[in-house]
Structure 1
Amino acid sequence: VFAPRALREQAWAWRTAALAGPLYLIGLRHAWLEVLGPSAIGLLALGLATLSIGAATAVRARGPEAKGARRVAMVWLTASAAGFVTLAIPLQLSNEWITVGWALEALALTALWRRFDHTGLKYLALGLGSAVMVRLLMNPYVLDYHPKSALPVLGWLTYTYLVPAVCLLGVWFLLRTEEVSRRRSWERSILGEKLPLLANYAATGALLLVFAWINLTIFEYFAPGSELVIPFDRLPARDLTLSIAWALYALVLLALGMWRQSTALRVTSLALILGTSGKVFLYDLAHLGDLYRVASLAGLAISLIVISLAYQRFVFRRQTPEEAR
């Protein structure tokens, strides 16, 4: 920012300045640990992120006059700050807070992509979103983060899964209208020119996180001890609750699909209701008895009736003579 104007007009100079921060971090981290210890090491990365943001802000006043170089300066300094924040989160936080922090950062990076249209910001956001999905959907250690909550629906599982789900929905919302039009030529050769595949990927992740939260919350409620585990034994009340929850989630997805006229959501809801039907007939009925069996069949029948009526009313309805014109 304070270099001679001739140097400030060079895009490579701003790239070099943005990349210098990570190199400084190596030596500064060693000095920090020697003097202050590891308890607040994340503040070092946040401090470097603050410097990068300050430099990006100063670009507006003393940055290059050339539009291309100014854009490079803003994007690279902002990306450097985002990288430091990404690093600070696992250095300072633990367990679910790493996941929540990365999800919030993915949303913020997508908002920056909307502002600057830099491909790197978009893929960094999607990379963080993918890390969030892996940590919450494929990480068995997530069950060991905390003991069973006293109020399962309001416990730690709720913010651990629903906050990232909302963030991924935000990523979808920000990507969906601009993703296709902003694709570079190399992206079009891979992703095509019609569908917002990356936005749909984020939305799919959000739906999976909500589905995982539903199942884990039910498992937590019926867990006999103080630990959250995925059970493999048979418990009629829990199995029936799972089937009802799956059916209700399918109905919600169907309603959203019809409201937004989304074929993908309707197909997802149909697949889920078919999975629920298979679970009821192949698993639940073999082990449920008395009122549980009746309730399971009644709930499934009501769900199927509602879905069939909804499809007949909104999807397969006949056109009136006025609409046909």
Structure 2
Amino acid sequence: MMAEDFHQIYNAFFDGFQLSRRYADRTEQLPVPRQAGEGALRRFVPRPDLEIVISDYTLSRNRQFQVRTDSAMVELSFCLQGKRELHISGMKHEFRANRCTLQLVDRFQAHFDFVGNQPMLAVGIGIPVATFDRFMEDFEGKRPVDFAKLVDRSPFRLFEQAIDPATSVILQQILDASYSNDTRKIYMESKALELLSLSFHTLLWDREPDDKHIRSKLSKSDLEKIRQAQEVLLHRMDSPPSLLELSRTVGLNDFKLKIGFKEVYGHTVFGYLREKRLEKALLLLQKGQVNVNQAACVVGYSNPSHFAEVFREKYGFNPGELVRK
């Protein structure tokens, strides 16, 4: 299968999946054939250079197919449930639940493996290279990174991270809107752009500091350990380690961790933890899963009054207002 432009890459994927589509570049629902499973892929095209694909299905058996493309694109994918594998250039890439991946594709042939009898829920956002490069520019037209630099003549480049609470909130908003007949293009477009902006910051712009002097002091190993420290904080949000314990866990001295973490993520270690705690609390309260005291406890605040105070400072309203809605 050949894909000659941005939308045709998606069309090649849908055709490989044996989905019956009516359009080449328009919003539509693509049901999974009954003999293959249940569910559907929903394609939203709010503007010509943006595709949003929501995959919500269960296959009755394992599925494999290949896609070949002579074009290029960028896709941001969020796997919320299930998993799938992509084989390209002799490498295997696994897309797992609660992970976000940024994929830069440039003329490649890929082999997709899908697992049967396992629910799959994912959100994909695709844009052409020209749009990606424009998004990389500052107001002076300068680009610290662009597509060509990132792929460096390779057919495929992938960046990956855990889905954080703030991103989870936006993804849920997209999923809710996708089922509503009243949803406008501008809403889906704005939420997709919000996700692109957040992910570009954490995966690209914040990943490599602009200060060359600082960058020279942080090796690739140091950067990887700093990212490990970030994941430890997210997983142990309710009972976080001390800075010294965290440094020992990831194998990086506490001074370099403290300086490097601020450079990579723009916050001190515990300033970052505070932000992520409040984002997760907001998500829990928006979903109506917990009351204020329970939300405080889940994210590691032993004093509900203090939790309510810092929550109000960040969001401008009391957490109890979400419970009463």
TM-score (norm 1): 0.29
TM-score (norm 2): 0.29
Which of the pair is proportionally richer in strand?
2
Give the structure with higher Rg (CA): 1
